[in-house]
Amino acid sequence: MKKSMDLIVDVNKIGTVLKPVNINLDIDWLKNILNNCEYPINAESVKSVLNASYDNDVVTIKGNIFFNGETDCSICLSNTSININVEIDIALKKQTDKINTEIKNEFTSDDLEFEYFNGNLIELSEIISDEILLALPLDPRCPGNCKSIPYLIPADEPSKEISSINPVTD
């Protein structure tokens, strides 16, 4: 996946209190991520409002990523707009030798709550792209009523004609 320099955060520049962090998400970066979606999405715009803090070896990043675009309704295949609000709430713990040993010896529930980072730079691209993909609807729907599509079989309206269709070959 394409890395974006704008998505690298220097932990030394993050204060102990949550403050806005300057992260530039460009539309090409988003389009690249959305290529991993099972259905095509034509992304049109993206913006982010993110805050970060670094305290007690833990970097917290909270906020939202908003984007919109167009996709096909999974039922009637008509073009429909899609507006996604990705909630970001990430905690990353600085990886130390001590923590390494703790993980090997005892994987406590506390450890499971965190992702880890090494050094002073955190590359957010992969973490954020995972969150974006998780926020996508499994089957995008148009705002209209799609029930009248001929090949769909409404549960309350069985018909001989429809039930004779072989779902494997048709």
Please state whether beta strands 41-55 and 19-20 pair in parallel, antiparallel, or not at all (unpaired).
antiparallel
SS3 (DSSP) at 129: helix
Widest Cα–Cα separation across the chain? 70
Binding letters toward Zn ion, positions 122-161, x by CB under 5 A: --------------------x---x---------------
Alpha-carbon distance of 83 to 66, in angstroms, equals 7
Reference 8, options 52, 44, 72; nearest CA is 52
Nearer residue to Zn ion within complex by CB, 17 or 152: 152
Beta carbon nearer to Zn ion, 99 or 142: 142
Would you say 11 or 146 has its CB closer to Zn ion?
146
If one asks whether residue 82 binds Zn ion (CB under 5 A), the answer comes out as no
Residues forming contacts to Zn ion in the complex (CB under 5 A) are 73, 75-76, 142, 146
